[in-house]
Structure 1
Amino acid sequence: MNDTIHVDEFLPHPPATVWHALTDPDALNDWFMPNDFKPVVGHRFQLRAAPIEATKFSGVIACEVLELQPGERLSYSWADANDPGGLDSVVTWTLRPDGTGTRLFVEHRGFDPDDAHQQLARTIMDGGWRSHVLRRLIEHLEG
């Protein structure tokens, strides 16, 4: 089993447009999840999603901005707010100019390879990052 999800996607939009979608709370609310995000290192925020009983996920994600390189890289912690002993992971978004668009790399690391619930969560989220999350981001960027 693996402890990291890797996604690599080309988006036909300039990095500044993609960056705005990743760091503007209203944009995030539109395509990602309800949130109280602020693009400030050290800011603690929450994302809200539907609970998933099979993985013991409460539906509330506690996050803290760990790294912010405007237009290039955003990293934040990602943990179940209601399960302090559960998943403690990090999501990193990296943007690279690519022709007239942006190459977007998403890395979600920190899944315990020895925890069956976390491995199930990784499997579910691996598909979710690739299909649901990126699809919604693309729809948002296309207006």
Structure 2
Amino acid sequence: MTSSPTIAIDQFFPYPPAHVWRALTDPGLLARWLMPNDFQLKVGHRFTFKGTPMPQVNFSGIVQCEVLNFEIERTLSYSWMDHSGENDLRSTVTWRLEPEGQGTHLFLEHSGFDPAHPLHQLSYRIMSGGWGRLVRQLAETLAADDNVPTSTDNK
């Protein structure tokens, strides 16, 4: 039996968990590094991310999500599916934050890709690179936010 492929990224940030958490949950900051959205930190809240359509993989550009669970400054999980319905990928994005020294180790897991479904596999390959780029944009957003102290500010 083939296991379901999962996108997994981990990245250290020299910022306290509260600041990384803010970048994951504040709609304005999310829009800077991910996509424009109507996110609210509330279990059961349905929200959308609005990005660039990719017709070659049946991606409408609109991602429908629902907050599944969260623990403030520790974990956030939401469903992820294309608005059009033409792409039947129903997946889950989970963020986990672990304090490390005066910074934060962030773990991203995007799961739910069917290994037997060609479109899911194509989506997996595209999103694997995409999430890496987006996590770099998250780092740039944190670095540019004047309200985010770095771990070196405390020395």
What TM-score does the superposition give when structure 2 sets the normalisation length? Answer: 0.88
For 2:136, the equivalent position in structure 1 comes to 135
Name stretches of at least 5 consecutive residues in structure 1 with no aligned partner.
Answer: none
Identity %: 49
Report the Cα distance in structure 2 between the residues aligned to 1:104 and 1:76, rounded to whole angstroms: 16
C-alpha displacement at 1:100, in angstroms? Answer: 1.3
Give deviations 1:57-88, integer Å, cap 9, x for gaps: 11110000001100000000000011166100
Identify which of 11, 18, 30 aligns with 1:16. 18
> AA paired with 2:136?
R
> AA paired with 2:137?
R
For 2:99, the equivalent position in structure 1 comes to 97
- More displaced stretch, 75-84 vs 40-49: 75-84
Q: Which runs of 4+ in 1 moved over 6 A?
A: none
* Cα RMSD, aligned residues only: 1.2
Report the Cα distance in structure 1 between the residues aligned to 2:87 and 2:51, rounded to whole angstroms: 19
Report the Cα distance in structure 1 between the residues aligned to 2:6 and 2:55, rounded to whole angstroms: 22
- More displaced stretch, 81-90 vs 21-30: 81-90
- The structure whose Rg is larger is 2
Query: May I ask how many residue pairs the two structures share in their alignment?
Result: 142
Report the Cα distance in structure 1 between the residues aligned to 2:87 and 2:52, rounded to whole angstroms: 20
> AA paired with 1:135?
R
Identify which of 102, 118, 122 aligns with 1:116. 118
